[in-house]
């Protein structure tokens, strides 16, 4: 990659191509603290929905001193713009193929707008007369709709039970880039804490030899003399935090639960927490309880 190409990418990072993404990886191997290159590398992986994105985001967070800036970047409109542009490209042929006829073009009729509006208002007053309405009787229609909903749920259950492991992983979006919203700072920080590298524990082979009793006694004697001759040191008062601790403790766990965090637990194979998360989400968003129930069934299937 030439310096001019790199400069152009720095100005418009959303135009990074798959080929340039791999070239940026080579640059990062040589210059790991090149933050701008890491940002463009992340953008390139996100554009292709690469399975390497989540790991690259984790490494970028390790090289970033202020992770709030990184979070603002990955949740910005510029970073997520590719999904919109891809949708436009997919529908470009359809839009270009549309034929517009003269009859479809609206004609300016501002002169008749007021009269038409008045007529609509008068018609609406008559239509909304409460005396013209009668209470709807309960019939077998509601029972039929409930039966249809149960049949749809059963169909979903059967389809999930017939999926193999790869299809289940695809259904749970395992390996796909995490999509954090601007309000999901807790989920982002929780993911970094869960996935941080554990330090390597090394056993010490040679235990340190004990010092002779005489040398140890001399050291304690010197410490006692120092304490007796020098005045007592006053401990510094700890600064009290100005933020409202009570308010922070009032935040309920369900308020911090998000779909992204549930996905993170699935990725980490912490299936117990993932199931608990989806149960909390189903109570938090009852309109999506069917979707969360399918996620739980898929996790149980993955554990088999």
Nearest in space to 56 (alpha carbons), one of 199, 174, 195, 263: 195
Question: Using an 8 Å Cβ cutoff, are 47 and 175 in contact?
Answer: no
- The pLDDT value given to residue 105: 45
pLDDT at 65: 73
pLDDT for 144 equals 57
For residue 56, the Cα-to-chain-centroid distance in whole angstroms is 15
User: Across residues 204-229, what is the average pLDDT?
Assistant: 63
Domain residue spans of the chain: 3-89, 165-195+249-303
Nearest to 294 by CA among 281, 270, 145, 51: 281
Res 83: pLDDT: 43
User: In this structure, are residues 252 and 238 in contact, taking their beta carbons and an 8 Å threshold?
Assistant: no
pLDDT band (50, 70, 90) for residue 298: confident
Residue located via tokens 């005045």: 231
Round the average pLDDT of the chain to a whole number and report it: 67
pLDDT tens digits along 154-204: 444 447 777 777 787 778 877 777 777 666 666 677 666 665 555 545 555
248-258 average pLDDT score? 57
In angstroms, rounded to a whole number, what is the distance separating the alpha carbons of residues 154 and 288? 16
For residue range 125-153, list pLDDT tens digits in order. Answer: 444 444 544 555 555 555 555 555 555 54
Verdict on whether the full-model pTM lies above 0.75: no
**Which pLDDT tens digit goes with each residue over 52-103?**
887 888 888 887 777 777 777 777 765 655 444 444 445 455 545 555 455 5
Round to the nearest angstrom and report the end-to-end CA distance of the chain.
48
What local confidence, expressed as pLDDT, does residue 182 receive? 67
């Amino acid at each position: 990659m030439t310096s001019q190409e790199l400069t152009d990418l720095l100005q418009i990072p959303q135009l990074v191509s798959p080929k340039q993404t791999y070239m940026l990886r080579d640059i990062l191997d040589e210059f790991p603290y090149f933050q701008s290159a890491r940002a463009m590398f992340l953008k390139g992986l996100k554009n292709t929905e690469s399975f390497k994105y989540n790991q690259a985001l984790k490494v970028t967070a390790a090289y970033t001193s202020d992770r709030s800036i990184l979070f603002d970047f990955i949740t910005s409109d510029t970073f997520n713009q590719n999904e919109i542009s891809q949708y436009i490209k997919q529908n470009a042929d359809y839009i270009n193929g549309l034929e517009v006829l003269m009859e479809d073009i609206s004609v300016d009729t501002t002169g008749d707008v007021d009269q038409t509006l008045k007529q609509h208002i008068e018609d609406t007053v008559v239509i909304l007369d409460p005396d013209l309405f009668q209470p709807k009787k309960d019939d077998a229609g509601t029972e039929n709709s409930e039966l249809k909903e149960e049949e749809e749920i059963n169909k979903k259950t059967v389809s999930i039970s017939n999926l193999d492991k790869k299809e289940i992983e695809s259904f749970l979006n395992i390996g796909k880039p995490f999509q954090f919203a601007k309000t999901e700072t807790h989920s982002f920080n929780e993911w970094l804490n869960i996935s941080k590298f554990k330090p390597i524990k090394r056993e010490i082979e040679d235990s340190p030899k004990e010092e002779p009793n005489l040398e140890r006694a001399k050291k304690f004697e010197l410490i006692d003399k120092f304490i007796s001759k020098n005045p007592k040191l006053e401990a510094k008062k700890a600064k009290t935090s100005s933020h409202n601790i009570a308010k922070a403790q009032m935040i309920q766990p369900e308020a911090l639960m998000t779909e992204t965090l549930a996905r993170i637990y699935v990725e980490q194979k912490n299936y117990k927490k993932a199931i608990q998360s989806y149960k909390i989400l189903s109570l938090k968003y009852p309109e999506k309880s069917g979707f969360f129930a399918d996620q739980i069934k898929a996790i149980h299937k993955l554990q088999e």
